Structure 1
Amino acid sequence: MRGAEAFTRGLAALAQYIKRERTVVPRQHTEQITVDGQDHDVRPGVWVSNQKNRRDKLNEQQLAQLAALGLDWA
């Protein structure tokens, strides 16, 4: 379940950043998000890079969520 939680946090951080900045997130940026009442610091640029490198392990739903945020490789 840990992997699913990390994906959810990363996706939330990416969506929050894109909504606010309307651009691709820089690799070094840290985004603070709140999930289930807990604050998390997430580096969505690093997370996106990791997802791209591991995209063959993502399921169709995860790929669709990434594509909906404008990631053309998803």
Structure 2
Amino acid sequence: MPGVTLHGEDVGRWLTTQRRDFSKLNEEQQRRLGKLGVKPQKAVRAGKIPAKAAVASGPGTGGGAFHKSLEALAQYIAREGRLPGRGVVQVLSDGTEHRTGIWIGSVKGRRDRLDQAQLAALAELGVDWAR
């Protein structure tokens, strides 16, 4: 989880780097990380959104992507005590990365399409425009 430090090292950031640069590691490093359950990050071509992230969220779609992003937002607020800036990327415990800062702006732009439960969840986290 980002923000958790051990001997001054941000463990979440370190883990993200290991996953991203997995192919650059030697075989022994890859083996050891594999024993811990760490897998390489799937490559994403520039300008392409992974299919899983492209799934719509909101009323009638199950809202899975919305809830994952909401979880990322809640983690960030719990750690930092404020809403994220635009460039914030939050890594969840399952290793998925969420562009939390961009997401909150995007959701604000389409708030008229959010259902009451989604608005209430955002308001509970202190998002003023969701009230």
CA distance in 2, matches of 1:69, 1:44: 13
Which gives a bigger RCO, structure 1 or 2 (Cα 8 Å, sep 6+)? 1
Give the alignment of 1:21-40 within 5 angstroms: 21-34=80-93, 38-40=94-96
**Residue 19 (structure 1) aligned to one of 64, 71, 78:** 78
**Where do 5+ consecutive residues of structure 1 fail to align?**
none
Structure 1 residue ranges (4+ consecutive) displaced by more than 3 angstroms after TM superposition? none
Greater Rg over alpha carbons, structure: 2
Report the RMSD for the aligned CA atoms in angstroms. 0.9
Paired residue total: 70
1:5 to 45, 59, 64: 64
Q: TM-score, normalised by structure 1?
A: 0.89
2:84 maps to a residue whose letter is V
User: Partner of 1:55 in structure 2?
Assistant: 111
Instruction: Point out the structure with the larger helix share.
Output: 1
Q: Which structure's residues are more often strand, by fraction?
A: 1
Q: Which runs of 5+ in 2 are unaligned?
A: 1-54, 58-62
Structure 1 Cα separation of the partners of residues 86 and 107 of structure 2: 13
Q: TM-score by structure 2 length?
A: 0.51
Amino acid at match of 1:54: R
